Amino acid sequence: MTAPRSSLCRLAAAAGLGVSLVVLAGCATTQSSPSLFVLDAGASAPDTTPQPGAPTLMIAPVATASYLDQGGIVYQTGPHKVVIANDNRWASSLSGQLTDDLYITLDRRLPGVNVVRTSSNRQGLYQLQTRVDQFLGHYDGKAHIAGHWTLVGPKGETLAGRAFEKTVPLPADGYPALVNSLSSGWQDIARGIGPTLAGAMNSAPKS
């Protein structure tokens, strides 16, 4: 950081914005080339053979609020202001990464269900529709995630749905720590969805 920027950071910290936010906001434009980040879902889902007679759950692409879909990592600097980083960006579509991680996590958590990403024939399938409205760093020093999901039955009927909201403290300053907390929080949300999905599919009327 230059001396003026360093002074500004100290003033912002004294104003109560928090060290993590200062590092994110104050240093966002000092890099010569963008840093690219990916979410961590752990090991890839194993290749599984379809289980005859088991229900099939299709993970629809996760929808995101438009401000989250600009490529840059988002952080909230005040009650009514969010900033999209130009030099710290998602390596690929955030929607695609969220969808892949959701698929991997649920494939592990639903052993009696055939979990698929997409299907050309949606007849007889259950479908998980998910929307993420918050996926960002926050001036309180935490990662914030919020949205909702809906389970749609084979006949297009809504079987279950629930809003989700989670905050995860940042273990350190900077974007790597923010991405780590966002990854951890998203996996926790996906793991929490699993039992409700299984219960709703098991109790749904069989055609």
Query: Is residue 29 over pLDDT 90?
Result: no
Mean pLDDT for the stretch of residues 38-67: 82
Per DSSP, the three-state class of 68 is helix
Closest CA to 69 of 28, 103, 31, 98: 98
The single-letter DSSP state of residue 27 is: T
Closest CA to 189 of 117, 122, 102, 110: 102
Q: Residue 170: what residue type?
A: L
pLDDT: which is higher, 94 or 117: 94
Query: Is residue 119 over pLDDT 70?
Result: no
- Compute the CA torsion angle 153, 154, 157, 159 (nearest 10 deg): -20
**Cβ neighbours of 167 (radius 10 Å):** 15
Q: Which domains are delineated in the chain?
A: 35-203 (3.40.50.10610)
pLDDT: which is higher, 194 or 121: 194
Closest CA to 42 of 101, 111, 91, 116: 101
